[in-house]
Structure 1
Amino acid sequence: MVANFEITKLKVNPNFQITFKRLLELTELEPDLDDDDELLNPSDYAVSVSIELLTQLYQALGQLFPLGFSNLESRGGINLIWTNQKFDKEVRIKVPVLPTLAGSLYYRKDNESELINNPSLDQVYQSLLWLSTDKVIY
C-alpha cells in the first residue's frame, strides 16, 4: 500500500526573495569602463559569503526576514542593508572582498550607532530582530 502525500507549495518570504534577487543583480551590473576608481563587480568571495549569510538569516528568521537591498563596496565587497523608516533605524553588513579582510555590522537608531567588527551570525540575527522594534540601541 502506498501512502498518500499532500504536496503543498513552499511559502517563501517575499522580502527574502527580493533581497536575494537584489544581491544577485550586483553580479549583472554593466561596468562603467570610464570610472577608474571603482571595481566593476563584486568578488566571488563577497558574493558567496553574502548568499550564505542571507540563506542562514532566512532559515533563522523565516517570515520575519526584513526587506533589504545591497550595493557594491568600492573594492569589490558587498554591503547588505536594511532600513526601517518608521523607527528611523538602519542595519548594514559589510561583507569584505577577501577572507583576509574584516567584515562588520553597523546599526543605527536616530543619531546613535554601533559598529561591530567580525560579527557573529547571532549578532546579525539579533540586529535584524531589533530593526523591527522601537527599542533603542541594544
Structure 2
Amino acid sequence: SGRGRFSGRAVIQTFTPENPVIRLAAAQNYPEFYKGEIALRRTMLYPPFADICMVGFLGRDERKVRSAGVDFLEMLRRTAKRDYPEQPMRVLGPSPALVAKVSNKYRYKLVMKCRNNRRIRELISRLLVWFPSEKRHSGVTAFADMNPENIL
C-alpha cells in the first residue's frame, strides 16, 4: 500500500479472519491462493473449467415468468438427457434476478454451468426456438447469454 519506493501498511478488516483467502492475501501468498482457488473452481465447475450460460426470463406477470423458468428447466433437462447426454452441465434456478423488477417487468434466471461448444449452443438455440411456440409463455421473453459479464 506504499507509493513508489516508500513502503506502506495495509489494514484488512473482516468478520472472518480465519478465511483462507483472507489469510493468504494478508501473507501475500499468491501461489497458495492460486492452488486453492483453481482446485475450488475445478470442483465447483467454475471457469476456466466450465462456461456459464445465463438464461433470463422477462414479463409483466411474475407468476408466468416464474412458471416459464420452470418449464424451460424441465424442457432443458428432458432434451439434454435425450439428445445431448454427452454434455455435462449443472443448472441452478430458476430464481428471481438480483434486481427482480425493472421497468415494470419481472426478471428470473437460470444459470447453467456447461461448456461453450457447438452442441450446447445448439441445445440452447433449440430451446429458445421452442419457448415462444408455447401459448402458456405468451407475454414472457426468454434470452440466453454465454459467459455474461453480469448475472441478472
Q: State whether TM-score is above 0.5.
A: no
Q: Greater Rg, structure 1 or structure 2?
A: 2
TM bracket, shorter-chain basis: 0.3 to 0.5
